[in-house]
Chain A
Amino acid sequence: MRSLRTRLLVGMISGMALLLIIFGLFVYTAMARALREQFDASLTATARTLAAAPELEEGEFELELDERLMVEFQPSERPDYFQFWLGDGTVLARSPSLGERYELPCFAGPIEAPVHRPVELPNGRQGRAVGIEYRPSIEDGGRTAEQAAVRLVVGRDAGELAAELRLLRLLLLSGGFAAVMVALLVGGLVVRQGLRPLSLLASRIAAIREDDLTERVQGDPLPTEMLPVVGRLNQLLGRLESAFERERLFTRDVAHQLRTPVAGMRSSMEVALSRSRRPDEYRESLSDCLAIAKRMQTMVEDLLMLARLEAGQAVAASERVVLTQLVDSCWRPFEPTAAERHVAFENRVAPDVSTIADHGILSMVLSNLLANASEYTNEGGSIWVCARFASGSVEMAVSNTGCHLSADEVCHVFDSFWRADPSRTDTDLHCGLGLALVQRGVSALGGTATTSLTGDDVFTVRLTLPAGG
């Protein structure tokens, strides 16, 4: 059941039907009982009248029945029936309506508590009967004497009672059905009316265009139950808007960063092709273009890495990494330039400090940090790396001297394409993505990266990584 309307309607109608069934059963049972009691009471009254009929005269029972009373017991379409028994089981008297062969069942209770029972009547109909046992009074010279007991069973056709009960059932069923139908109709209208704000919300959401995410869903005439939905939706829109804005700025920055090398390559080739030249001149232009292409390749690879880290696709494997070894291997490529610039390097990481992480990402992070440090350390300055265990994590710090950034500028170092000196973007191999990669890489490993600047121009990047067991 995907439709909310159907679900609400079905729930409502089933609840109502169940209620009607219980109510109907209760009413039916109570009414049937009352009707049956009424029927039985009238039967008992007849039996009590009949009970006065037997009289004992000279040791023999004799029935003295009123003619008018006997009319009921003559054979007809729906007569009443009676039968008397003496204490020894001999039949004393029978109503003419019983005919020759039929016998009423013999059962009885005391006259003050008669027994009622359904019986089958001679014509095959269903009826009810009452049985009483009593001692008829004997009038003998004004004296009442105890006599033998007599049993009387009076039966009557219960067809009318059954018909009344049938009518009651029919009334209850049809009434219930009509009530369900009306409820279905009214409920349908109410549910449709109740769900109208949903369509209103849908049309408001549909009105938000993907090119203008500054718009928000208005919650004004919507019911209070829907306001949390509108609120969450607006929060989502807000997050989307800022994500799109970030994306837009990033794309603009990427395009911007690619313009200069593309311009260099294009003008190199256009100038080279503008006239015929000696092979060595072509060779020079080609090697210029190759250098530019390499720079662009680095940038594209960095961008791809950044995208992969942001999408959470980069973490491939976790293995134990001994940090002091990793620091040494990552530093190796920067050794020659550092030596040229008399920059001292010190690996202060103890041999037992290790972490469980993706080796590739961790070495990318460290290489970028060391590249950054070796690029910005002053001539004759120094770079050092420390690491230690600290309550379930590993803290690592890469520091270098000769930092000329202000405290304000230090806050921006993790931004993509941010350079303290914007013109540097055009001149060196890296393009301001290194520290952005560090931060994304560390967060992909489940850690954090922070920067600090101390008074003596020492710039430090601190990494907190999970120790990994």
Chain B
Amino acid sequence: MRVLLIEDYLPLQKSVAKGLREAGFAVDVTGDGADGLWYAAGEDYDAIILDLMLPGMDGLTLLGRLRTQGSNTPVLILTAKDALSDRVQGLNLGADDYLAKPFAFEELLARLRALVRRKYAQKNPRIEVADLLIDTASKRAWRGGRELHLTAREYELLAYLAMRAGETVSRADIWKHLYEFNSEVTSNVVDVYIGYLRKKIERPGAPTLIQTVRGLGYALRTED
């Protein structure tokens, strides 16, 4: 999952970005409101974490502009302002969630995952495709009752495909949701990771779950 973190207090920006990356998110970071809007408008993020007091452009203005531009990306406001009026104003302007500083990092992660699930219309944190089971809360996966031992990147790839289970997901989409803005990977890294994932998921005798849709991308579903 790829998120945008807009926070100008550097120590917080650094630790939150580090924590999110370690939790498997791809994170783009900026400390400036105007830059934040530019990032948000240019990329299809799974969620945006937004501070309110920002240089360049304040968070509420940014949010307002983003929604006027037609973006539906879930936005989580993260701020020291926690008066009821601030929260109401933020939510009225189109924020999806509100978290007051200081916060528990686990809570930020949980809220972020809930936002991402909502984006893909997945309310249940457990996704099932045939005998494949993915628990997005605990970030674990099982096939036929046996747990799969996935790296963070492999899990994120599987979870992304599972969120859009049944759909054909393009290589560009996968790349965009798994890699940060300035990462130096090429798009064929997606094929490499699909390969790793297949080795761990597919088993002889069981139906193939990761389908290659020639010229379009991949899909997580049982063969028609």
Contact = CB atoms under 8 A, between A and B. Distances in A.
Contacts of B53: 422-423, 425-426
Contacts of B81: 256
A267 B80 contact: no
B121 interface: no
B116 interface: no
Interface in A263-280: 263-268, 270-272, 274-275
A423 B12 contact: no
Contact of B12 (A256, A264, A421): A264
Nearest to B10: A427
Contacts, number: 85
Nearest to A255: B80
Contacts of A424: 55
Given A259-B102, A260-B80, A267 B15 contact: yes
A264 B100 CA distance: 12
Main secondary structure, interface of A, reads: helix
B104 A274 contact: no
Given A274-B19, A288-B14, A421-B55, A264 B104 contact: no
Given A263-B101, A264-B12, A270 B19 contact: yes
Contact of A426 (B9, B19, B22, B58): B9
B55 A260 contact: no
A422 B86 CA distance: 15
B77 interface: no
Nearest to A424: B55
A291 interface: yes
A291 B14 CA distance: 13
Contacts of A267: 12, 15-16, 19, 102-103, 105, 108
B106 interface: yes
Contacts of A262: 101-102
Contact of A271 (B9, B10, B15): B15
A423 B54 contact: yes
Interface residues of A, number: 28
Interface string A402-435: 0000000000000000000111111100000000
B180 interface: no
Contacts of A259: 80, 82, 100-102
A353 interface: no
B138 to A, nearest CB: 14
A424 B106 CA distance: 27
Interface string B37-49: 0000000000000
Contacts of B55: 421, 423-424
Task: Report, nearest first, the 9 A-B pairs whose CB atoms are least far apart.
Answer: A263-B101, A271-B19, A263-B102, A426-B9, A264-B12, A259-B80, A264-B11, A268-B15, A270-B105
Interface of A: 256-257, 259-268, 270-272, 274-275, 285, 288, 291-292, 421-427
Interface of B: 8-12, 14-16, 18-19, 22, 31, 51, 53-55, 58, 80-82, 100-106, 108
5 contacts: A259-B82, A259-B102, A265-B102, A271-B19, A427-B8
